[in-house]
Structure 1
Amino acid sequence: MNEFKPILRFLAMSDIHFNREKPERRRNFELGIKLAYEYAEQQEYKGIDVLTINGDFTDHGEEEHFADFKESVEGALKPETDLIMTMASHEYMCDGHVEKAHERLRRFFNRGPDNHKVIKGFHFISVSPTISCRFQDEKREFLKKELEAAHEDTPFKPIFLFQHPHITETVYGSINWGEDDLTDILVNYPQIVDFSGHSHAPVNDPRSVHQRHFTCAGTGSFSYFELDEYDKVYGTVPPLDEPSAQFLIVEVSEEGAVKIKPFDVVTQRFFDMEYLVETPWNPDSFIYTEDRYFAAKKPEFTAEATIDVTVKADGVDFTFDQADGKGERIDDYTLTVRKKEDGSIVRRICFWSKYYLNNMPARLTQGLDLTEKGDYTVDISARGFWFNRSVNKLTTEFTI
């Protein structure tokens, strides 16, 4: 393709969860917008054309949450930046009444829950759930009509679609936090570039961009992380789950190519990754597909990597060097403790690498509440995001 030159730029955010008891969420939201403007000012194309807020911008949908969010948006956005919003389950929580939430949206933001805008020749369609995070017939009909109109107008340009929950079996987080109410409609339009939240999954997880029938991207969270795996020793909410403040900066060229750039507000910089969708309307050109599971290189512990074992009164700590992910970060580790005398397993756990932190630590410490006296061996294996287990393990012996 020709050199990528953006003529359109927008921010994709979700799950901000405004709550006066959590003021850091508001601070990070406003800081994220400020940092995005600073980034844009340093580029040849300096505009931020749209801020998209993809649901759960309030914690419980209360009047004060709407008021605070409006004040924050109006203070942070420049006049030339448009605003696109969807609602979701947390906006519907207060009073338990969807229509009251819609009334608040109209009163505070002068808009309805579903919209279709054309900005610089590109179609932006946003649709809010009927109730909770489900889409019923009225929403499906709205989406069919608007997608067909957008397709007829620009069949060889991306259509940007925004709804709060992920589409099931697409991006990371969509197994536990996805809905399939719209899938049969969306598969007809491969040029869709769909943005969704709900899961609080990290934007720097490479599975957070997915292509099969169309392109999907997860928009992260400004509140806390949750991950979509169920074998971890501490459940789906990882250590250091707050503060989370991540979003996407999306750039679009005149030809319709789309660049997706994950950004971290906590460290005030981009993650070391970006995604380029050159021809969104052509599914044969998709590269962020399930093929990545077969092409991924296996992680490896370097020859210099070590494990340090610390025996304490209430258990054992294992501190070790992270593995080399061969161009990607490590997803998780499996730690296995065996009795030295016969090799029988006494404890086996799986835990994350903390890859979701932009400043990912070079060494990890993981504890076990193992206190029984004896001689043991421990081994640690690494795993990437594509079930690619490391080619080697770290091993050592210890005595309690």
Structure 2
Amino acid sequence: MVKFFSRFACGVAMSFLLYGNAAAAPAEPELRIGILSDAQCPKSKDSWGLKNARRGFELLRQRGVDVVVLGGDLAERGDAEVFYNFLEAFDSVFGEKKPELISIMGNHEFAPPQDDPKKKIAAFAKAFGLPADANVHRVIGGYDFIAISPEGMNQNTYKEGAEKFVKEAVASARKRAAGKPIFAFSHHPLSGTVAESGQWGSDSLKKVWDFKLPDLVHFSGHTHHPLQDERSIFQDEFTMVNTSSLCYLSRGNYANVKQLHDTWKYPQMLFVDVYADHIDIIRMALDCGREIKPGRRWRLELPLSKENFTYTAARRDSRKAPEFPAGSEAGIKFSGTKEGKPVIAFPAAVHDDFVHGYAMKFIPLEADGKSGKSFELNCMTDYYRGIDRMAENPAFALPPGRFRPGTRYRVEIRPCESFGKRGSAISAEFQF
């Protein structure tokens, strides 16, 4: 007998299956992996990033994880003390039953920029017991793990050494276990792949990971991008996955960036469960220890091949634009100011995934009845808090410098989903 029920908790929908007998229970994974990155810690043992790492370690201990991967930017200013703080936290949480630990460097491990990068690599390698170049190829539970570090603060410092290391490691993995997934890690994403990699990705990594190898599953941090966004996984020649952040989430370059001041409250990480016939990638919200979007868990069918890739750029074609409910225009409100800024509020649009933001076009209405030169402001929603926590009537503080006092404006508001599709506009007029 199988019973099903669901509830909402900590900003994410939770679903449970209760099995009436052990035979109906799902198979256990062959390997359990936990991935955490971008803690941005100072030296203090009480830093926010380290506290969240401990939370993550505790969840992984409860799951009986086999491998833990630390994906770089553990330290904010390259302090070696931070590495030992992480090791101390790791030891205290896992005790004698420690999983395998793989650590790589991020750009912040090389801070401050005037320091000698070779000494930074040596300090990191010493702390974590790594080879001199801080690159790792290890076989764990029958699966190959290949992890590389940059050679400096710039995202394009993956050089010939990394390229040679990766090619040899991949060749070895394919010879050892042809057709099995290979798990790969670097702090930076390849440019032009997962969300925000256009700005924060590495061109030099494209030479390093220059493979037409669908068996490769590559994880990267650096962007701090929220995992609710489906663009955090991308498949082209192989699979690439964003790992988000233990410290704060990205706010992008939106007009309301200063308003999104609480992203630090919502750290995230990944669980990866490897089965004989598939891989489940489970997005976790550390503020409450619950799965993000359990109904949309990322699944990779094995064996991996381009024919069964589903997280490609073509996904955009099948997505719908968000829309406002009927009558939303009447709900557009302008209020005084918030910290010296005018505020616009309106009923939230709806979407089968979530509304990522709103594009607001402002058109000055001149005294002669003609329209002046318009401008557009793009604002991000609060989806990173949890999709069921999003504001029902989002309010955005507008930059006053863009508006002329005494001028009347028409605003046209279009909802946007994460892949860029825009819905129909609602509009209103107001006096600034």
Do both proteins adopt the same fold according to a TM-score greater than 0.5, normalized to the shorter chain?
Answer: yes
Matches within 5 A, 1:322-333: 322-325=348-351, 327-333=352-358
Contact 1:214 1:280 in 2 (8 A): no
Task: State the match for 2:16 in structure 1.
Answer: none
Post-superposition Cα deviations, 1:299-336, rounded to whole Å, max 9, x if no partner, equal 111125432221349553111222112x2112221112
Which moved further from structure 2: 361-370 or 341-350?
341-350
Percentage identity across paired residues of the two chains: 25
User: Which one has the bigger helix percentage?
Assistant: 2
2:229 counterpart of 1:205: yes
Matched residue type, 1:226: S
Shift of 1:106: 3.8
Shift of 1:166: 0.5
Contact 1:190 1:280 in 2 (8 A): no
**CA 225–318 in structure 1, closer or farther in 2 if over 3 Å, else same:** same
CA distance in 1, matches of 2:258, 2:212: 33
Of residues 71, 78, 84 in structure 1, which corresponds to 2:102?
84
Which moved further from structure 2: 145-154 or 265-274?
265-274
Of residues 351, 359, 364 in structure 1, which corresponds to 2:379?
351
Shift of 1:116: 1.4
Post-superposition Cα deviations, 1:82-127, rounded to whole Å, max 9, x if no partner, equal 1111112221225722332233234322223111111221111111
Post-superposition Cα deviations, 1:220-269, rounded to whole Å, max 9, x if no partner, equal 112222355x5x225699543323411111111023x2111111112332
CA distance in 1, matches of 2:249, 2:29: 31
CA distance in 2, matches of 1:58, 1:323: 39
Task: State the match for 1:319 in structure 2.
Answer: 345
Of residues 116, 130, 135 in structure 2, which corresponds to 1:97?
116
Matches within 5 A, 1:359-370: 359-368=389-398, 369=400, 370=403
SS in 2 for 1:130: coil
**CA 288–13 in structure 1, closer or farther in 2 if over 3 Å, else same:** same
Of residues 146, 159, 167 in structure 2, which corresponds to 1:136?
159
Q: CA RMSD, aligned part only?
A: 2.5
Shift of 1:357: 2.2
Structure 2 gaps of 5+ residues are: 1-25
CA distance in 2, matches of 1:311, 1:109: 54
CA distance in 1, matches of 2:275, 2:167: 26
2:146 counterpart of 1:125: yes
Which moved further from structure 2: 376-385 or 310-319?
310-319
Matches within 5 A, 1:9-158: 9-20=32-43, 23-38=47-62, 40=63, 47-78=64-95, 79-93=97-111, 96-112=115-131, 113-132=134-153, 133=155, 134-158=157-181
Contact 1:155 1:281 in 2 (8 A): no
CA distance in 2, matches of 1:103, 1:312: 53
Give the TM-score taking structure 1 as reference length. Answer: 0.88
Task: State the match for 2:21 in structure 1.
Answer: none
Which moved further from structure 2: 209-218 or 123-132?
123-132
Give the TM-score taking structure 2 as reference length. Answer: 0.82
Of residues 169, 187, 194 in structure 1, which corresponds to 2:192?
169
Task: State the match for 2:427 in structure 1.
Answer: 395
Shift of 1:375: 4.1
SS in 1 for 2:382: coil
SS in 1 for 2:204: coil
Which moved further from structure 2: 348-357 or 160-169?
348-357
SS in 2 for 1:99: helix
Shift of 1:344: 3.7
Give the count of matched residue pairs: 386
2:411 counterpart of 1:383: no
Contact 2:36 2:56 in 1 (8 A): no
